[in-house]
Every structure is written in structure tokens, then in C-alpha cells.
Amino acid sequence: MNKILIINKPKGLTSRDVVNIIGKKFNTKKVGHAGTLDPLATGVLVICINKATSLVDLLSGYKTYKANATLGIETDTLDIEGKILKEENIDISDKDIRNCINNFIGKYNQMVPLYSATKINGKKLYEYARKNIEVELPSKEVDIKNIKLLSIKRNNNKIEIEFICEVSKGTYIRSLIKDIASKLGTVGIMTDLVRISQGKYKIEDSYTLEDIEKDNYKLVDITDIDINKEIVDIEKEQKIRYGQIIEKTFNGDLIMYLNSNKEAIAIYKTYDKDKTKVKPYKMF
């Protein structure tokens, strides 16, 4: 069984916890996810089972989140669960907040948060943080494709905001909130986060862990991913199964070849500089 399962991750569990639960349910150790969610966060977690785990990099595209933040508070983890480092009373106009958030649309270099699983010299950043070891935080280019402010509330000289954003792979919403706050001349933390979609998979299509336990779910076939597809004859199928380099007959860089039963055989990618041939990329 090489399938994809869309989970609505509950608050309090790590993405790895969910992977372990699904692995136990389907009696396999070959389970992975296509994009980490913090324990604080809920929502869409794309789970890949058995050979579908090879598709993780193809499923880690743009993601949409609904986020809540409080401006005027700073913690070591950049979210509400961390140790408070700083608090300040703030008075920022709705117009300034709205303009600031709108200005984040586009690409920018984002610093990776200290409490994250990003590795430096073979160790995860949170391992350095827990041992109070100083380390230079890396930064990377992220793309904020869309962002929309939903609400602004004022509470005890702090400002609570809610927004929806569509962002590229590797974007940390905690860091985005920190950067928004910094542009406004203050500090800020994430208080809640829901991933409402990842690529074509939406939260309405997801299942809770309780659904999985009760066998109330539908698995997604690997042929469902957004990629060029071609049904091949037996002769071409044999060449593909042997991993042979073949002529390119499609636009783009990747294609999934299917047999006459519309089952996935392999994914091939462009091979040569002239882009006339393709070679194996993922084999099923």
C-alpha cells in the first residue's frame, strides 16, 4: 500500500508523534510527513505511507495558514509556550499594522528560529538552545505569496492580530510574526496556528486521529499528485521498469508514467542539457 493520508493534526502532538501513530495503525515503519507542524499548531499534515514517502519533496509546496499573534510580548521560542523575555505597552494604529503586513508580500530573507529542527553542524538548533550554546542562526529566502489581515484587537496595552497567509516551503510563521513586529518597532509572538491547506490538500479533506482509529478515512493514491502523467504501452513500461533513459515527450521537467491499469510505475525527470531525454527520478 503506497498511499497518501491527509491528517488534521491536533494541538499538543509533534508531527513525529502523528507519524508514529499512523505507522502503528498501518503496521509499517515506512511513514513520513511533507512538512512539520509545531506541537502548538493544528491542521493539514500530509502523511506518506510506504513508497509514497519518496514523494515528500514533491508535496512540500506552498502552504496556507491562519495565524494569531500578540504584539508587545517576546519569548525565547517566539510563541506563547516559551519563556517570556520582554513585555512592553504599545500603541500602533490599525493603518500602520495593515500597511506593514501588506508590505510583506513577496520574497525576503528570513532568519530561522532558534527553537527549530534546522540542523547546524549535524545538530538541531533546539538542541543548542536547550544547552544554552550560542550559535549563529541561518537565514533563507522565503516567499510570502499572499497575506491578509483578518482582525485587530487591543487588550491590556497589547495588540492581538489574526491573519491568513500563503507561503513557500520552509517559511516559519513564528519568524514572520517576529519580523512583522520588528517592522512595527516592537516584539511579537505566535499564539495560535492552523495550516488550512498544503498544495491541493485542504483542511476540509483531512481526517482526525479519531477518524483514523475508527477506520473513517479515505487514502489518496500517489497518482493524485499534480504532475504530468502518461499511460504507456507494455514495451515502454518494460524500459521504464528497467530504469532506462528514454525520449522526452512532454513539457516541463517531471512526468509520472502509468501502466495500462493507471498504476504508477515511476517518475522521470529531464536528463540532458538539450532537454530531449528523461531518466528515473522515483521508482514505484
Whether 112 shows a pLDDT value over 90: the answer reads no
Closest by Cα among 144, 19, 122, 137 to 78:
137
- Please tell me the predicted confidence (pLDDT) of residue 124: 80
Whether 117 shows a pLDDT value over 80: the answer reads no
Give buried/exposed letters for 106-137 (b at 16+ CB in 10 A, else e): eeeebebbbbbebeeeeeebeebbeeeeeeee
Tell me the pLDDT of the chain averaged across its residues: 93
Q: What is the dihedral of CA 106, 114, 60, 68, to 10 degrees?
A: -60
Mean of pLDDT values over 192-200: 96
| Contact by Cβ (8 Å): 265, 237 | yes
| Contact by Cβ (8 Å): 114, 125 | yes
- Please tell me the predicted confidence (pLDDT) of residue 271: 84
Mean of pLDDT values over 228-247: 95
Closest by Cα among 250, 255, 253, 275 to 265:
255
Report residue 5's pLDDT band, with 50, 70 and 90 as the boundaries: very high
Cα maximum dimension of the chain: 72
- Catalytic, 38? Answer yes
Cα–Cα distance measured from residue 247 to residue 257, given in angstroms and rounded to the nearest whole number = 13
Domains 3-61+199-223 and 63-188 share a fold: yes
Mean of pLDDT values over 172-200: 96
Per CATH, domain 63-188 is 3.90.980.10 = no
Mean of pLDDT values over 183-206: 96
Residue type, 232: V
Task: Spell out the CATH class of 3-61+199-223.
Answer: alpha beta
- Please tell me the predicted confidence (pLDDT) of residue 138: 81
Whether 129 shows a pLDDT value over 80: the answer reads no
- Write the CATH number of the domain with boundaries 228-283: 2.30.130.10
Mean of pLDDT values over 170-181: 96
Return the percentage of the chain with pLDDT > 90, whole number: 81
Q: How many residues in total does the chain contain?
A: 284
Mean of pLDDT values over 218-242: 94
Q: Which of 120-134, 158-172, 179-193, 220-234 has the lowest mean pLDDT?
A: 120-134
- Please tell me the predicted confidence (pLDDT) of residue 256: 96
Closest by Cα among 51, 50, 53, 41 to 13:
41
Of the listed 38, 57, 179, 233, which one is catalytic?
38
The answer for residues whose C-beta is within 8 angstroms of residue 180's C-beta and 6 or more apart is 69, 100, 101, 104, 188
Who has greater pLDDT, 60 or 4? 4
Q: Which three cell numbers stand for residue 138?
A: 541561518
Whether 120 shows a pLDDT value over 90: the answer reads no
Neighbours of 146 (CB within 10 A): 11
Segments making up each domain of the chain, as ranges: 3-61+199-223, 63-188, 228-283
Cα–Cα distance measured from residue 39 to residue 16, given in angstroms and rounded to the nearest whole number = 10
Cα–Cα distance measured from residue 135 to residue 114, given in angstroms and rounded to the nearest whole number = 9
Which residue is associated with the grid cell 510583506? 104
Whether 106 shows a pLDDT value over 80: the answer reads yes
